[in-house]
Amino acid sequence: MERPSPIAALKAVLPEAVWTEDADRIAPRLSEWRGRWRGETPIMLLPRNTAEVSACVRACAELGLPITTQGGNTGLVGGQIPLGEVLLSTERLTAVRQVSPLDDALTVESGVTLLQAQQAAAEVERLFPLSLAAEGTATVGGVISTNAGGTAVLRYGVMRDLVLGIEAVLPDGRVFKGLRALRKNNTGYDLKQLFIGAEGTLGVVTAATLKLFPVMRSRATAMVGLNDPEAAIRLLALAKSETGGGVDAFELMKRIGIELVLQHIPDTREPLDRPSPWYVLLELASGEPGAAEAALPRVLERALSERLILDAAIAQNAAQAAAFWRLREEQSAGQKPEGPGWKHDVSVPVSQVAAFIDQATAAAESTCTGARVSAFGHVGDGNIHFDVLMPSGGDRAAFEAAREEGSRRIHDIADQLSGSISAEHGLGRLKTAEAARYKDPVELDLQRAVRAALDPRRLMNPGVLF
Amino acid sequence: MERPSPIAALKAVLPEAVWTEDADRIAPRLSEWRGRWRGETPIMLLPRNTAEVSACVRACAELGLPITTQGGNTGLVGGQIPLGEVLLSTERLTAVRQVSPLDDALTVESGVTLLQAQQAAAEVERLFPLSLAAEGTATVGGVISTNAGGTAVLRYGVMRDLVLGIEAVLPDGRVFKGLRALRKNNTGYDLKQLFIGAEGTLGVVTAATLKLFPVMRSRATAMVGLNDPEAAIRLLALAKSETGGGVDAFELMKRIGIELVLQHIPDTREPLDRPSPWYVLLELASGEPGAAEAALPRVLERALSERLILDAAIAQNAAQAAAFWRLREEQSAGQKPEGPGWKHDVSVPVSQVAAFIDQATAAAESTCTGARVSAFGHVGDGNIHFDVLMPSGGDRAAFEAAREEGSRRIHDIADQLSGSISAEHGLGRLKTAEAARYKDPVELDLQRAVRAALDPRRLMNPGVLF
């Protein structure tokens, strides 16, 4: 008698409701929205609770079957796409287990979307602050596994800063029960940290306890014109100091980015009377009614008197604030009609932002004559989306041919300035080799030692990280 | 020819300036201020920089010599006291390597004291917020290794939340170079997290990059009288909500704790006109000049109208605020003349604080008739110093005999309420066995797997943690 295939054996040990081989059902899970990856999988597992996740992972471990775990499938670096592995989806792990306003804590399963988590917090008059474009689809488990950032990092930190506890199924199927709503607990290594940003390599996150915050009571938004990124960084320090940390957003944009949005995106308009070489979208918030509105003019007047800024416009109502935000949010869309671009998601220490932009711009322009640089991003966190656009009417093939060298030089500059080549998107399948170039060998060894300790057979998301 | 002893071999390979066998020099390092531990060591290593730490650790590793690392020797659980191991002191690692106000970052070596770090921040008009009683002696390395808390956790978090980067010498002598001032960096596991709270078991922290914050511009302090801890927790939620997170301190005290301070500590006085069963020291702070002073009466009036509080006094000046703080800070000193106590450093979810105090008080009183409970602490973090005092004029021997059972029952209650038996002091040598009772076997396995991956021969602080 022939031995059954591992997949047949897997199906035999799991309840029928927990798996599917339906190609139509699986297909949307095998590509992602940018269309960069086409995956394949023999089977998709759809466990409904932690016990079923444990049974699925244990069965795969016993059969030696590697697993790729997928949340909302919004990742940008291919980490969620199986290339032959079993696909484990968290889409049925959707329970909101506990909302505890007195603890400022919310416990949800990992398939809950970021938006649903935000809504569960809002229902008890609390804020879950992590916010990003894909929040209607991105799941809590995915956002934990990629340690996502987004637009509220300056005040509230990245996902790592917002997680109080984690429940996860380990690579051998055992359950790590780390769901705690404790603010202080010093009893050994803080193991939950391992699963945050691990991109699914150390187990499957099944639930998390998240930190909640008070809802803010005042908010004020301005668009500011400046001469250069150096001035922007000094404005940031001034605004933080004047408000005691009340800066909620600080987004830098270059004139070309504003111009492309005005040119290509309908219903957008110049934010200031005269164009400036650079712009900052500055937003203050406070728990005190009226405090942000009072602080913003004070900050801007001082910045004007210190000649840090050229011009500024304070949003007079929510619609004007939204119009300012639109100029920021459409930066990528505004570039699209201009053809391909070399895109980079780097971070550097805030003090090095201006040096990075200067040096990287020079590197881009010397790698490809006429290339146009549109740098923008969450500069309050040192995070720059450094995009190099094709020369106007330029030679597309020549631009593509220069991409590898150009990106390499830009990443080298970030590295030399003590920066990172992946500030918020993670490494996934896309950036792992590039990241390994910049890692110290000791750190690479440590990365591998930790992985081997938890997943000695490398069965969890084997294609990602080191 | 005889082979030299390992210690002789160690002396032979290290520069003479780096070690000492001078018993007078070593003696103060072998006991701690509570006098609970008497250590011993064959030799003390005093490396002057990271390269020397690396040479010391490498030489010990090659000779199979275990090491205990010591910072300021202020730990409360014996983790810093060698029992036969080589003693490695960080006392010469005192460089302030970089102060970068634009990055809100400060890089110091691990032997720098907490107070020196605070001062280095203040010199550039920034705040390093971690603050605790031993800050003049406790070192940055020690505070990282124990993930210390202190009085500013409610707003700024524990030490883990304040570390941007770490440099550490691994158990084999290699150097992990993780000193980064980046706010966002998603390129694999965040390895620095391993060393925070590791109590020296995964290597020697040699330097760290710390987060700085804006200096606050207004501050307001009140002493509040309440009926019970339940009301205190509701007051906390109200104050956080009304101020958008502007609560800097929220310290609960029981009437008996106030009475003992008034009785035993000179120059202290009743904070309110009439005694209350419970007290909260509430402090608000804001970056806006005047905002905290404006918010405090609003919060207290609302709390009075909702009948959450019985009475309140707002400090009219810095001296009055200091007098309120003194009542809190002298809680332990006030107990001392009353004889021995069973002391507990527990945390529970904030919502469970009242339940914990009720149940633990009943357990203490039924274990030892007449025992007096003085609960106080950083209740905003769910951290309760739950101290059980001997009955007035009671039988000391009987009280000591009941200690083990009493403490066990109190820890059991914290555990049943999803709490921790060591909120901020760590485990060290003192609490490891007790902590192991409450750890899930899966978590204990993971703790040991991580340790074995980094230190397979268990040479670093072998007597602490699991």
Helix (H) or strand (E) holding B145: helix B140-145
Q: Is B164 on the interface with A (CB under 8 A)?
A: no
ipTM for this model: 0.95
Which residues of chain A does B197 touch, with a Cβ-Cβ cutoff of 8 Å? Answer: 186, 188-190
pLDDT the model gives residue A123: 98
CA nearest to B178 within chain A = A443
Tokens of B180: 């980064």
User: In angstroms, rounded to a whole number, what is the distance separating the alpha carbons of residues B189 and A205?
Assistant: 15
Alpha carbon separation from A438 to A190, A382, A425, A435 (Å, rounded): 27, 18, 17, 5
Q: Is A167 on the interface with B (CB under 8 A)?
A: no
Alpha carbon separation from B68 to A153, A165, A216, B78, B428 (Å, rounded): 38, 30, 47, 11, 11
* Alpha carbon of B62: minimum distance to chain A alpha carbons (Å): 18
Name the residue among B160, B242, B350 with its Cβ closest to that of A102. B350
Helix (H) or strand (E) holding A324: helix A318-329
Tokens of A316: 């007079």
Thinking of the domain B218-332, which architecture would CATH place it in?
Answer: 2-Layer Sandwich (3.30)
Mean pLDDT of A426-434: 91
pLDDT the model gives residue B380: 86
Look up residue B196 and give its DSSP letter: T
Q: What is the pLDDT along chain B (466 residues), one digit of tens a residue?
A: 567 899 999 999 999 999 999 999 999 999 987 778 899 999 999 999 999 999 999 999 999 999 999 999 999 899 999 999 999 999 999 999 999 999 999 999 999 999 999 999 999 999 999 998 899 999 999 999 999 998 889 999 999 999 999 999 999 999 999 999 999 999 999 999 999 999 999 999 999 999 999 999 999 999 999 999 999 999 999 999 999 889 999 999 999 999 999 999 999 999 999 999 999 999 999 988 888 999 999 999 999 999 999 999 999 999 999 999 999 999 999 999 999 999 999 999 999 999 999 999 999 999 999 999 999 988 889 999 999 999 988 899 999 999 999 999 999 999 999 999 999 889 999 999 999 999 999 999 999 999 999 999 999 999 999 9
For the beta carbon of residue B430, count every other beta carbon within 10 angstroms.
19
Phi, psi of A69 (to 5 degrees): -95, 140
Whether A165 and A185 have beta carbons less than 8 Å apart is answered as no
Strands A86-89 and A67-70 come out as parallel
Angle at CA of residue B144, ends B142 and B148, nearest 5°: 85
Strands B345-347 and B383-389 come out as antiparallel
* Alpha carbon of B239: minimum distance to chain A alpha carbons (Å): 10
- The residues, ordered by sequence, that sit 6+ positions from B107 with a Cβ below 8 Å of its Cβ are B96, B97, B98, B99, B100, B165, B179, B181, B207, B208, B209, B210
A70-108 exposure pattern, b = at least 16 Cβ within 10 A, e = fewer: bbbbbbbbbbbbbbebbbbbbbbbeeeeebbbbbbbbbb
- Segment 176-235 of chain A within 8 Å of chain B by CB: 176-178, 180-191, 193-194, 196-198, 213-217, 233-234
SS3 A375: strand
Helix (H) or strand (E) holding A402: helix A396-416
* Alpha carbon of B447: minimum distance to chain A alpha carbons (Å): 7
Which residue has 């696909």 as its token pair?
A87
**How many angstroms separate the first and last alpha carbons of chain B?**
40
Q: Is B107 on the interface with A (CB under 8 A)?
A: no
Phi, psi of B63 (to 5 degrees): -95, 0
Which residues of chain B does A159 touch, with a Cβ-Cβ cutoff of 8 Å? Answer: none
Specify which residues B460 forms β-bridges with: B67
Asked if A216 and B244 come within 8 Å (Cβ–Cβ), the reply is yes
CA nearest to B161 within chain A = A161
Check pLDDT > 70 for residue A1.
no
Best A57, A132, A189, A454 residue to mutate vs chain B (most B CBs within 10 Å) = A189
pLDDT the model gives residue B206: 98
* pLDDT tens per residue, range A108-130: 999 999 999 999 999 999 999 99
Of B286, B290, B110, the residue nearest B213 (C-alpha): B286
User: In angstroms, rounded to a whole number, what is the distance separating the alpha carbons of residues A209 and B382?
Assistant: 16
Average pLDDT, chain A: 95
Specify which residues A175 forms β-bridges with: A169
Look up residue B421 and give its DSSP letter: S
For the beta carbon of residue A436, count every other beta carbon within 10 angstroms.
16
In sequence order, what DSSP letters do the residues of A98-148 get, joined into one string? EEEGGGTEEEEETTSBHHHHHHHHHTTTEE-----TTTTT-BHHHHHHTT-
* Alpha carbon of A202: minimum distance to chain B alpha carbons (Å): 10
Whether B404 and A205 have beta carbons less than 8 Å apart is answered as no
* Alpha carbon of B429: minimum distance to chain A alpha carbons (Å): 12
- For residue A16, count CB atoms less than 10 angstroms from its CB and return exposed for 0-12, middle for 13-18, buried for 19 or more: exposed
Asked if A184 and B424 come within 8 Å (Cβ–Cβ), the reply is yes
Which fold does the domain B6-89 belong to in CATH? 3.30.43
Look up residue B460 and give its DSSP letter: B
Tokens of A441: 């060998």
Alpha carbon separation from A335 to A28, A314, A380, A425 (Å, rounded): 27, 26, 23, 20
Mean pLDDT of A435-458: 96
Asked if B349 and A105 come within 8 Å (Cβ–Cβ), the reply is yes
Which residues of chain B does A237 touch, with a Cβ-Cβ cutoff of 8 Å? Answer: 101-102
Asked if B422 and A348 come within 8 Å (Cβ–Cβ), the reply is no
pLDDT the model gives residue B150: 85
Asked if A382 and B182 come within 8 Å (Cβ–Cβ), the reply is yes
Asked if A442 and B174 come within 8 Å (Cβ–Cβ), the reply is yes
Which residues of chain B does A77 touch, with a Cβ-Cβ cutoff of 8 Å? Answer: none
For chain B, the residue count is 466
Q: Is B143 on the interface with A (CB under 8 A)?
A: no
Handedness of CA B299, B302, B308, B313 (dihedral sign): positive
Q: Is B381 on the interface with A (CB under 8 A)?
A: yes
**How many angstroms separate the first and last alpha carbons of chain A?**
40
Thinking of the domain A218-333, which architecture would CATH place it in?
Answer: 2-Layer Sandwich (3.30)
Which residues of chain B does A187 touch, with a Cβ-Cβ cutoff of 8 Å? Answer: 420-422, 426-427, 431, 435, 438-439
Helix (H) or strand (E) holding B166: strand B163-169
For chain A, the residue count is 466
Tokens of B208: 């760290």
pLDDT the model gives residue B1: 57
Whether B138 and B123 have beta carbons less than 8 Å apart is answered as no
CATH label, B96-214, candidates 3.30.465.10, 3.60.140.10, 3.30.70.360, 3.40.50.620: 3.30.465.10
User: In angstroms, rounded to a whole number, what is the distance separating the alpha carbons of residues B228 and B357?
Assistant: 10
Which residue has 């995964």 as its token pair?
B202
Specify which residues B88 forms β-bridges with: B45, B69
CA nearest to B173 within chain A = A442
Q: How many residue pairs bridge chain A and chain B with CB atoms within 8 Å of each other?
A: 292
CA nearest to A434 within chain B = B187
Whether A178 and A168 have beta carbons less than 8 Å apart is answered as yes
Strands A105-109 and A204-211 come out as antiparallel
Domain at B339-425: CATH code: 3.30.70.2740
Comparing A270-274, A374-378, B110-114, B411-415, which segment has the lowest mean pLDDT? A374-378
Which residues of chain B does A438 touch, with a Cβ-Cβ cutoff of 8 Å? Answer: 187
SS3 B103: helix
Which fold does the domain A339-416 belong to in CATH? Alpha-Beta Plaits (3.30.70)
- The residues, ordered by sequence, that sit 6+ positions from A243 with a Cβ below 8 Å of its Cβ are A284, A286, A295, A299, B214, B287, B288
Phi, psi of A158 (to 5 degrees): -85, 180
Residue boundaries of the structural domains of chain A: 96-214, 218-333, 339-416
Asked if A442 and B215 come within 8 Å (Cβ–Cβ), the reply is no
User: What SS3 string covers A412-466?
Assistant: HHHHHCCCECECCCCCCCCCHHHHHHHCCHHHHHHHHHHHHHHCCCCCECCCCCC
* pLDDT tens per residue, range A31-79: 987 778 899 999 999 999 999 999 999 999 999 999 999 999 999 899 9
Tell me if domain A96-214 and domain A339-416 are identical in fold.
Answer: no
pLDDT the model gives residue B33: 76
Phi, psi of A220 (to 5 degrees): -145, 140
Check pLDDT > 60 for residue A24.
yes
